[in-house]
Amino acid sequence: MTARSSHFDALGRAHMIDVGTKPVTAREAVARGYVEMSDAAFRAISDGSVAKGDVLGIARIAGIQAAKRTADWIPLAHPLPIESIEIHFELETATAPMQPRVAIEASVRITAKTGVEMEALVAVSAAALCIYDMCKSIDREMTIQHVQLVRKSGGKSGPYDRSASRR
């Protein structure tokens, strides 16, 4: 692999990066995002009265399924044998100027030749979309926000921590 890691070959054509010679290492990625919503949608999720059922339970399953299928979403991503996916939700009440929101955090672990950042980001995205789908009859103005990598470990580039990089 060259120093310039790219999804384009010398002629500018898209290709999947060859990870064949990379060492296998323990890797983890954590991503986070939010679904901001109306008070009515937030209350319905909080008290379990959404007509479609257990919003956060179904969103957790959607996130797990999506992480396992990341290579189907992202054309040049490698299909990976994921070892662990954890998805957590936190209901955050409104604080001016923000509306109430659901915080979503996904943690994905693997021992492999390539990282799982995309899998964690896809898990958060799918969970957020599922929340939107299940609550859209209550609030069509929900907003999916700030889907981002929080931290990662393993691999040649080493650890990354968003909070440490903002200093």
Which of 42-46, 113-117, 120-124 shows the lowest mean pLDDT across its residues?
113-117
Minimum mean pLDDT range among 37-41, 93-97, 143-147, 149-153: 93-97
If 0-12 CB within 10 Å is exposed, 13-18 middle and 19+ buried, where does residue 152 land? buried
> How is the chain split into domains, by residue range?
25-153
pLDDT band, residue 167 (cuts 50/70/90)? low
Active-site residue among 9, 54, 72, 133? 133
Average pLDDT, the chain: 90
The tokens of 91 are what? 């209901």
| Arithmetic mean of pLDDT, 147-162 | 92
Top CATH class of 25-153 equals alpha beta
Q: Is 72 an annotated catalytic residue?
A: no
| Lookup result for tokens 């958060």 | 124
pLDDT of residue 12: 78
Mean pLDDT of 79-106: 94
> Cα separation of 90 and 71, whole Å?
28
Q: Is the pTM of this model over 0.75?
A: yes
Angle at 133 between CA 61 and CA 122, to 5 degrees: 50
pLDDT for position 157: 83
Which pLDDT belongs to residue 97?
Answer: 82
Q: What is the pLDDT of residue 162?
A: 93
Task: Note the pLDDT tens digit of each residue in 3-56.
Answer: 455 766 777 777 666 676 777 889 999 999 999 999 999 999 999 999 999 999
**DSSP helix/strand/coil, 42:** helix
